[in-house]
Amino acid sequence: MTEMRKVLVIYTGGTIGMMMEEESQSLIPIDFEKIFQHIPVLESMNVEIDHAQMDEIIDSSDMNPHFWIKLVEIIEKSYLEYDGFVVLHGSDTMAYTASMLSFMLENLNKPVILTGSQLPLGMVRSDGRENFISAVEIASAYEDDTPIVPEVCVYFENQLFRGNRTSKFNAEHFDAFISGNYPALADVGVHIKYNKVYIRKPAYKALKAHKNLSNAVGILKLFPGIPLSLVKNTLAQKELEIVILESFGAGNAPTNKDFLSLIEEAGRNGKTILNVSQCKSGEVEMGRYATSKKLLELGVISGRDMTTEAALTKSMYLLGEGYSGSDLRKLLQKSLRGEMSL
């Protein structure tokens, strides 16, 4: 008999724990105890499961930095007591939370598996049961006393992804997440097949939980015909220190002189502009096209194959840690937690 592992399930809200409110006929979050009743099989697993519930149970569209800090505090406080963690979370902003946790939890040596569902557990066809059970299994999977997946991950519909590589791309299908630039860490069928070459190695250092986050970050998504006033107003926001430019294809942007002079002015005013692609797969390669070469000349830096979610949360984390100037630019372009390909 293998050693019984201990997993802490942290319930934050989301569809997995919602039910239909009769009066409003909308889905609202319910208490964790009721969720547990829907999966009696959890009790027969060779895992000791405890649970913690956030003070406020939310639809993940209400996610915010304060909530992330509270979540990290729970993980930090119980880190030594548990072998792994499962975070039940709404799918809408799960990719943001998974990315953020990866930066906040430095030297992570245990699995932190985020999961949820597209249909509430109380519904007959709910995808939540399988997601929950497999997430617990993955969070408690050890080999020779070493966790198989010592990373922050998203588990959804038979696939385990590195959390900071994911984006939600489907609001209807059960396979709601994509990891366009990094292979799945595990495929789940009759067996759980771990793709070990892609999984990060344990850090073998003490966990360092970072709890200072800055919100001096904005996102400017380009589109054909974008009004210059919109670009100007965004870049003129004094409180923003980093602006993530969601560009076209391999990092391309309009060559219009007025647009480019706004970018240049923002750089002169001390803003860092980080270029990520609107595409879900592939990377920013500034200089490949004339339309991106200009950005490079103006000091825009490349987010390479980072998702917008990873770029945003990494920026909030680095600014919160007090980085600025060339150190900030250097770290933004470096892989800190496997969020970017080397």
**Interface segment toward ligand ASP; rule CB under 6 A; list 13-21, 179-187, 215-223, 330-338:** 13-21
User: What is the closest distance, in whole angstroms, from the C-beta atom of residue 300 to ligand ASP in the complex?
Assistant: 32
- Quick check: 15 binds ligand ASP (CB under 6 A)? yes
Rounded Cα distance, 176 and 168, in Å? 6
**Interface segment toward ligand ASP; rule CB under 6 A; list 75-83, 84-92, 142-150, 281-289:** 84-92
Rounded Cα distance, 87 and 74, in Å? 11
Residue from 61, 233, 269, 278 binding ligand ASP (CB under 6 A): 61
- Give the bridge partners for 24, in sequence order: none
Query: Quick one: 116 or 251, whose CB is closer to ligand ASP?
Result: 116
Tell me the HSE value of 31 on the side-chain side, using a 13 A CA sphere.
3
- Quick check: 131 binds ligand ASP (CB under 6 A)? no
- Quick check: 59 binds ligand ASP (CB under 6 A)? yes
User: What is the closest distance, in whole angstroms, from the C-beta atom of residue 16 to ligand ASP in the complex?
Assistant: 6
Coil, strand or helix at 99:
helix
Coil, strand or helix at 63:
coil
Query: Quick one: 90 or 320, whose CB is closer to ligand ASP?
Result: 90
Coil, strand or helix at 249:
coil
Residue with the CB atom nearest ligand ASP in the bound state: 90
Residue from 8, 35, 92, 311 binding ligand ASP (CB under 6 A): 92
Rounded Cα distance, 217 and 308, in Å? 12
Task: Yes or no: say if 202 and 150 are a contact pair by the CB < 8 Å rule.
Answer: yes
Please report which helix (H) or strand (E) contains residue 9, including its range: strand 5-13
What's the longest Cα–Cα distance across the chain? Answer: 69
Q: How many CB atoms lie within 10 A of CB 232?
A: 14
- Quick check: 126 binds ligand ASP (CB under 6 A)? no
- Quick check: 97 binds ligand ASP (CB under 6 A)? no
- Quick check: 130 binds ligand ASP (CB under 6 A)? no
Rounded Cα distance, 95 and 166, in Å? 5
Query: Quick one: 15 or 252, whose CB is closer to ligand ASP?
Result: 15
Name residue, tokens 């930090």: 76
Helices (H) and strands (E) counted in the chain, each on its own, are 9, 20
Please report which helix (H) or strand (E) contains residue 246, including its range: strand 242-247
Query: Quick one: 99 or 118, whose CB is closer to ligand ASP?
Result: 118
User: What is the closest distance, in whole angstroms, from the C-beta atom of residue 14 to ligand ASP in the complex?
Assistant: 3
> Rounded to the nearest 5°, which phi and psi values hold at 6?
-115, 130
**Interface segment toward ligand ASP; rule CB under 6 A; list 58-66, 68-76, 132-140, 197-205:** 58-66
The DSSP symbol for 46 reads S
**Interface segment toward ligand ASP; rule CB under 6 A; list 11-19, 38-46, 130-138, 257-265:** 11-19
User: What is the closest distance, in whole angstroms, from the C-beta atom of residue 204 to ligand ASP in the complex?
Assistant: 35
State the distance between the two ends of the chain, measured CA to CA, in whole angstroms: 41
- Quick check: 64 binds ligand ASP (CB under 6 A)? no
Query: Quick one: 83 or 157, whose CB is closer to ligand ASP?
Result: 157
User: What is the closest distance, in whole angstroms, from the C-beta atom of residue 92 to ligand ASP in the complex?
Assistant: 3
- Quick check: 53 binds ligand ASP (CB under 6 A)? no
Residue from 53, 99, 118, 164 binding ligand ASP (CB under 6 A): 118
Active site residue 15: yes
Catalytic hit among 12, 15, 272, 313 = 15
User: What is the closest distance, in whole angstroms, from the C-beta atom of residue 171 to ligand ASP in the complex?
Assistant: 8
Rounded Cα distance, 247 and 179, in Å? 19
Rounded Cα distance, 153 and 134, in Å? 12
Residues at the site binding ligand ASP, with contacts judged by CB under 6 A: 13-15, 59-61, 90-92, 116, 118
The residues carrying an active-site annotation are 15
